[in-house]
Structure 1
Amino acid sequence: MIIRSVLAVLLLAACTSADPAPQQTAAVPIDSPPPGELGSAARGAVFAREQCAACHAVGDDGANPLAGAPPLREISRRYPVEQLEEAFAEGFVTTHSAMPEFVLDAGQNRDLIAYLASIQED
C-alpha cells in the first residue's frame, strides 16, 4: 500500500505541467505464463512499448517523449523494482491526465517486472 502511494506521488511529481492530450489505452493481449513461472522480459518489453512509451523512455537508452517523466531504466533509483509487483497488481492512479490507470494481471505483472529489472542502470 505504501509503495502504491509512493508510486502515485512520484509519477505525479515527475510529470510537467504541460499535459499532452489524454490517450486511450486498451488492454494489451499478452499471453501470461503459467502460475509460478518467471516473467518474460520480452513480453514485458512489448507491454512497456505499447503502454508506456508515449511518455517514458522504455529502453536501456534514449530520451523521454514527455519531459519530466522518469525513464523506466531509472526506476530502481527510486525503489526496488521487485517491490512494484503489489502496486502493479492493485493498480495505480495519478492525477496526471496523461497517466492511465493500470491494473496488471499476474502474468503481465511478472513480465513487466522482469523487463524493468533487465534494463536498470547500475
Structure 2
Amino acid sequence: MRKQVATITALLALAGLAAQTGTALADAKDGARLARLWCAACHVVADDQASGSEAVPPFAEIANRPNFDRDGLAATLSGQHPIMPDMTLSRQEIADLSAYIASLAR
C-alpha cells in the first residue's frame, strides 16, 4: 500500500512539473504569430493593427484586466468557446498565445 501511495505521489508531482514546464517554456514571440494568424480577424492583437471587431476586446485590454490570469486564459483557450471558432490549438500553442497576451500588460 505504501508503495502505491508513493508511486501515485511521484506521478502527481511529475504531472505538476510537466504542466509548469509547458508554461515556463511558452514562447510569446510564437504566440504573437499565432495571434495574427488566428485572432486578428476579430481581436486587435498588436499595436500596429489598424482595427478589429468592436464586439470583442483587444488583447492588450484583456491582459490589463485586474483579474487577468494567464493560466485561466489558457484553460479558456483549451476548451470550446461558443463565440470563437474551433481553432484546435495544441497545448504548446495555447501556452504561447497566453504568454503573448500576458506580455501585453502594462
Shift of 1:61: 5.8
Which residues in structure 2 correspond to 1:64-79 (within 5 Å)?
64-76=51-63, 77=65, 79=67
Aligned residue in 1 for 2:85: 100
Q: Indicate the residue corresponding to 1:31 in structure 2.
A: none
Query: 42, 57, 68: which one pairs with 1:80?
Result: 68
Q: TM-score, normalised by structure 1?
A: 0.58
Contact 1:89/1:109, CA 8 A, preserved across alignment:
yes
For structure 2, list consecutive stretches of 5 or more residues without a partner in the other structure. 1-17
TM-score, normalised to structure 2's length?
0.65
Q: Which has more helix, going by share of residues?
A: 2
Structure 1 regions of 5+ residues with no counterpart? 1-33
Identity %: 36
Which deviations, in whole Å up to 9, do the C-alpha atoms of 1:62-118 show, x marking residues without a partner? 553222321011113174241111111123222xxxx31234211001100110011
Contact 1:54 1:65 (C-alpha < 8 Å) held by counterparts = yes
Aligned match for 2:30, one of 43, 54, 66:
43
1:56–1:65 contact (8 Å) kept in structure 2: yes
In structure 1, the residue corresponding to 2:52 is in which secondary structure?
Answer: coil
83, 100, 106: which one aligns with 1:115 = 100
Aligned residues: 84
For residues 78 and 60 of structure 1, do their structure 2 counterparts lie closer, same or farther at Cα, with a shift above 3 Å needed?
farther
SS in 2 for 1:108: helix
Distance 2:94 2:67 in 1: 16
Specify the structure having the higher radius of gyration (Cα). Answer: 2
Task: Give the 4+ runs in structure 1 shifted more than 6 A.
Answer: none
Structure 1 residues 92 and 102: CA distance shift in structure 2, 3 A: farther
Query: Could you say what the CA RMSD is over the residues aligned between the two structures, in angstroms?
Result: 2.3
Q: Output the CA distance in 1 between the equivalents of 2:43 and 2:60.
A: 9
